[in-house]
């Protein structure tokens, strides 16, 4: 059987929360001809960066996430909501705003679909190396962030212990590892 996309028959707006919009889409199964409704959350793309300092530490942020009502240790990132901003520039901006780190070399690692059954957006993943602390973070009013440096060789242990459980962070780390970004030989743990 050859799978094909389902043709969209109709789409109507259900809810607009500003940050995201929900539509109810009616689509037709190419296999059965049957029509089905799907709810889709539409929002701008997300950006994240796997940032590596000059001395081989990955820069993480710890922050409160209201959805889980827990603190989360994750990679810096955010919304790519500036229409005139290149994604790589947005990733560098988010890194600087959340952590104060910058400079170095930035490069694209790839795009992910965070939850394609419900979300229409992408996660754009960037790597960065040879970063330096260049200033203080400039957090948004809705952010309380602690910068956490973890030796690149220790990151997998944090994931294994469940201390890093954000799925997008783990996927981005896997992409960075595959690209060789996290293969530097250093020692030590979080500081």
* 1 falls within a domain: no
pLDDT score of 82? 82
> 60 and 154 share a domain?
yes
What is the mean predicted confidence (pLDDT) over 96-110?
A: 97
* 185 falls within a domain: no
* 185 pLDDT above the threshold of 80: no
> 110 and 38 share a domain?
no
CATH number at residue 52: 3.90.79.10
> 27 and 103 share a domain?
no
* 189 pLDDT above the threshold of 70: no
> 35 and 56 share a domain?
no
Instruction: Provide the pLDDT confidence category of residue 190 given band limits of 50, 70 and 90.
Output: very low
pLDDT tens digits, residue range 110-158? 999 999 999 999 999 999 999 999 999 998 888 899 999 999 999 999 9
Compute the distance between CA of residue 171 and CA of residue 148 in angstroms, rounded to an integer.
Answer: 19
pLDDT score of 191? 45
State which residues form the domain around 34: 8-42
pLDDT score of 140? 87
> 98 and 133 share a domain?
yes
pLDDT tens digits, residue range 19-78? 999 999 999 999 999 999 999 999 999 999 999 999 999 999 999 999 999 999 999 999
* 128 falls within a domain: yes
* 71 falls within a domain: yes
* 2 falls within a domain: no
* 183 falls within a domain: no
* 32 falls within a domain: yes
* 184 falls within a domain: no
Report how many domains make up the chain. 2
């Amino acid at each position: 059987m050859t799978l094909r996309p389902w043709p969209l028959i109709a789409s109507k707006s259900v809810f607009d929360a500003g940050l995201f919009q929900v539509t109810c889409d009616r689509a037709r199964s190419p296999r059965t001809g049957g029509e089905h409704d799907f709810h889709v959350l539409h929002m701008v793309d997300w950006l994240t960066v796997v940032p590596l300092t000059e001395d081989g530490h990955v820069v993480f942020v710890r922050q409160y996430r209201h959805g889980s009502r827990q603190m989360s240790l994750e990679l810096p990132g955010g919304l790519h909501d500036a229409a005139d901003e290149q994604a790589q520039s947005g990733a560098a901006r988010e890194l600087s705003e959340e952590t104060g780190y910058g400079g170095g070399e930035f490069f694209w690692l790839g795009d992910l679909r965070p939850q394609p059954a419900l979300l229409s957006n992408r996660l754009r993943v960037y790597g960065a190396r040879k970063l330096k602390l260049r200033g203080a973070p400039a957090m948004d009013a809705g952010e309380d962030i602690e910068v956490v440096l973890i030796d690149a060789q220790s990151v997998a242990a944090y994931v294994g212990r469940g201390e890093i459980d954000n799925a997008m962070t783990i996927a981005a780390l896997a992409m960075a590892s595959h690209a060789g970004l996290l293969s530097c030989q250093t020692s030590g743990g979080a500081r």
